[in-house]
Structures are given as structure tokens and as C-alpha cells.
Structure 1
Amino acid sequence: MANAEPDTLARYDAGSEDRDTESTRLPLRRRPWFQRLLTWGALIIVWQVFAVVVGSYFWPSWQDVLRGFVTVLTTGGVELVASSFLQMFVGFGLAIAVGVPIGLTIGSFRTVALVVEPYVNLLFVTSLAAVLPLLILLFGTGFTFRVAVVFLFAVFYVIINPANGVRSIDPNLVDVSRSFGVGPVRRFFVLTAPATLPFTIAGVRLGLGQAVQGMIIAELWVTTGTGRELKALSQEHVLGQFFALAMVVVLVGTLLSQLLLWAQRLITPWAASTSGVGKGDG
């Protein structure tokens, strides 16, 4: 057994070297970095041509967007986005704290699933923008309203994925653990939690994207924060600064999503490719 591990590592290293060599032998046009470079270059060219054709009043050139970035950086735009995201984290944190236990419970107990899951699925496919007026009546237009919107946008993804994770566990493993006298609490920590963790992290990643959408939509409704600034810039046709501010929001959201993906690969290397559930799935 002691010799098996070095042999396995040696085969893995050899395989990695073969893949690296194969990658370097690919023609330039087939290398991933070159394909990405071409894609971004084509996007920039199409963007610029479209701006010239329709005019800067309707679509900004890249020069306008770059000037908008400078304005955003020098006039407090980054601080405004940071403030919006800090408020978003409150609603998103509540969605995780509430959604994960509910998802695990739904997946673990059939009776709970029969009672609760129909309502979860119903709300999951409902247009949440339609309930925003009701939320304003309940919570007003302040901080609580924005937290509630972010919570509702994110929580159903955080519920559904852990539930699917529990259901994906091989029933034979559960039967074996019971036959060896493993109690429910210990079985949760040694079997259920490791098996569902990739699904849970994937659900959190999906929920994060929805939380960012909820943050902007809530701020557009009550005219505050980053949403208010985006609305004002679009109405005044300051499109270079509008796109610059929107790109800052997208970049921050993408960075947070990539951090979660990195954490998923680090914590659950055995299931790094686990994907989540989206609208219409399930």
C-alpha cells in the first residue's frame, strides 16, 4: 500500500505533463487564450462600430466608457457600489442561514418535503418583481425592504440545491451506516454533510447572482444607492458613466462568484464540477 501512493502520484504527474505538452502543441487558433482574445477583440470592434452607427446619444464608444470609469473612480462611485453590496450581504447571509437548513430538512424527511416543497417550487417559478409592491407595504422603502428583496431573490436557490444534494446520496450508503449503528447526528456529519456540500456551495453561487439582481432591482424601485445612480445616468443619457458603473457591479459580482468557485474546488475537490439548479430545472 505504501508503494501504491507514489506510483499513483507518478502517473498523475506524467499525465499532467502529457496534457501540458499536448496543449503547447496545439495550433495557435485552437489555444484557449487565443480564442478568448479573439472573442474579446471581436466584441470591442462590434461595440465600437455600433456606437459609430447609432451615435453616442444612444450607445457610448469605448472612449466614453473609459472616461466614465475615471469619473466613477473619482466621484465616489466605487464607495456607492460597496455600500450597496454591504447591504446585499445582509439579505444574502439571511438567505443562506435560512435556506440551507430548510433544504437539508426537505431532502432528509419525505413528510416535510410533501408539505413544504410545493410552496418552494411555486415561489421559485414566480416572478418576484410582482411581489415588490407588497413588500413595500410590509416593510416600507428603507433598509428592511432591500434586505427582504435580496433574501427572496436568493433563498430558493439555496433551498433547492441542498435538498437535491441529500437526494443524490446513494441509499445503500445510508443503509450501511444504519446497519453499523451510526446515529442520525453522526451520519449527518460523516455522510450527509460531505455529500451535500458541493450542491450547497453551488446553490450559494447561484443565489449570489440572484442576490445582486435583487439588490439593483430593489434600489431601482425605491430610488436609492447604485440603482438610483444607474437610473439617473440612463435618464440623462450619460451612457459612458452608466456602463462604467454597471460594469463595476458586474465585476464585483463576478469576483465574488469566482471566489465561491475557488472555495468549492478547494473544499470539495472530489466534486468540483457539481452544477446547480436554475429556473425551469427540477
Structure 2
Amino acid sequence: MVAITTRPTVILPALNLVLFFAVWEYVGRQIDPILFSPPSRVIRVFGELIISGELLRATLVTVGTLAVGYGLSVAVGIPVGVLLGRQAVLGRVVNPYLDAIYATPRVVIVPLMILWFGVGFTGRLFLIFLGTVIPIIVSTAVGVRDARPDLIEVAQSFGALGFHVVRHVQLPAAVPFVASGLRIGAERAVVGVVVGEIFLELTGLGGLIQLNAVRFNTAEVLCSVVVIAVIGIVFIGLLDALERRVSPWREAT
């Protein structure tokens, strides 16, 4: 029974993938190579970029910047979110500013990044941070406020105050909300790192995309795009695994 029920979950995605590459190959062969490339050429170019080391170097730069920017966003976003969740008045004061920053496209603040930080690592890092930290703050604050009042009262009746209430009641209740914020933040972090590499400093995978785009090297551009997509998928997968690790009770429900 297990084999029968799990077989479609393996066969259907495999068939979908085969169909996708078949259509891509067919369409790619009908279009000018300057505009589009079939997967056969992309795979060949991918191998060449791996052998030359160019793709690996660019990937390491992108992943390194992404890790630092995202880590900084988490380190700031969760504590600030807890503070805003526990202090309702402060939350109402700060939320309009958070909404305004979140709604502003990051591309339009690139000139400010150049003026403030120049074209370099600091500007790219701040661009990631600015786009990533807001959803983490907001989701954490909502989760903390969503904690059941009766559980907080029970904890306080046993002498739990301040940090202990946050640690044992509010943060566990906020896990689904924090996880949602982390996912949204991860998606925005990947976008932010690429935007920074294209507009602030031609480096990493974003820089590789820009340099190859102006040379009409479509296959090379698609190689970088595929690697960025894989980074995003792996990133989200790691966050899902972390959520299951810190909240195993949700799997049981």
C-alpha cells in the first residue's frame, strides 16, 4: 500500500520535469540563440563555467553575502519583533514606518545605498537587511501577540515573569508566524542580493548575469539564473527543516 500511494508522488514530478525540459529544448531550438538557449547548450556552458571556476567563485560570493545579510536580519528582527509584540503602544507607533519601508521597492533606494555606503559589500549587505528584516519583525510581533492570554496567566501564576514568559509561552506560540516571516525574508534576501550585485557592484551571480547579458551570452545568463533558483529552493528547504526541528508538535497535529 505504501508503494502504491507514494508512486504517484515520484512519477508525476518526474514526468513534469521531463516535459518541461522537452518543451524548453524544442522552443530553444526554434528561437535565435541570442534571445534564448535550449537546455542542451545551457548544460554544456554550465560545465565550462564549472571547469573554469568562474561559476563557483560567483556562487560563493553570493551565498556568503546572503548568509551574512540574512543572519543579521534574523538577529535583529526576532528580538525587535518580540519587543513590539509585547509593547502594543510601541508597535502601533512603529508599524506605519515598517509598512512604508516594506512597500518601497528596493531598486529605488539603490542610489541612496550608493550615496551612503558606496559601491561595495556594505551597500549590498544593507540592501539585503532592509528588505529582509521587516517581514521577520512583523511576523514575530504578530505571533507574540497571538499567544493565548490564559497560558500567560498560568505561567505568571507559577512565578514566570518577563523573559521566562517570552521563552516558554510567547515564542513557542509564535513559531508558525516566525517561520512564515523567515520564509518571506529568505525570498526577499535572495532578490536583494541579486539586485545589489547587479546595481551596486558587479560581483557574484548577479554580476555574472549582468556581464553576460550585455554580451548577449544567453546560455551563461540562464546558468546563473538556475543556480540562483537552486539556492532559493535549498534555502527554503533548510528553513522548513529547522521549523520541524524546533516545533515537532506541529507535525503531530
TM (normalized to structure 1)? 0.82
Q: Note if contact 2:82-2:144 (Cα within 8 Å) is conserved in structure 1.
A: yes
1:68 to 45, 57, 76: 45
User: 1-side partners of 2:221 and 2:62: how far apart?
Assistant: 16
Matching residue of 2:33: 56
Matching residue of 2:132: 154
2:237 to 250, 258, 261: 258
Could you tell me which runs of 5 or more consecutive residues in structure 1 were left unpaired when the two chains were aligned. Answer: 1-20, 275-282
Q: Note if contact 2:77-2:133 (Cα within 8 Å) is conserved in structure 1.
A: yes
User: 2-side partners of 1:35 and 1:97: how far apart?
Assistant: 40
Shift of 1:170: 1.3
2:57 to 66, 79, 82: 79
Structure 1 residue runs of 4 or more that deviate by more than 6 Å after TM superposition = none
| Residue 214, structure 1, aligned to residue 192, structure 2 | yes
Shift of 1:228: 1.8
Q: Note if contact 1:96-1:158 (Cα within 8 Å) is conserved in structure 2.
A: yes
User: 2-side partners of 1:87 and 1:79: how far apart?
Assistant: 12
Matching residue of 1:269: 248
| Residue 44, structure 1, aligned to residue 21, structure 2 | yes
Sequence identity percentage: 26
User: 2-side partners of 1:58 and 1:176: how far apart?
Assistant: 64
User: 1-side partners of 2:209 and 2:96: how far apart?
Assistant: 37
User: 1-side partners of 2:139 and 2:249: how far apart?
Assistant: 17
Summarize the Cα distance change of 1:54–1:273 in structure 2 as closer, same or farther, 3 Å threshold.
farther
Task: Write the mapping of 1:98-109 to structure 2, written as runs, cut at 5 A.
Answer: 98-109=76-87
Q: Which amino acid aligns with 2:241?
A: W
| Residue 181, structure 1, aligned to residue 186, structure 2 | no
Matching residue of 2:67: 89
Q: Which amino acid aligns with 2:52?
A: T
Partner deviation per Cα, 1:130-179 (whole Å, 9 max, x = no partner): 11111211111111101111111211121111112112211221222233
Q: Note if contact 1:233-1:242 (Cα within 8 Å) is conserved in structure 2.
A: yes
TM (normalized to structure 2)? 0.91
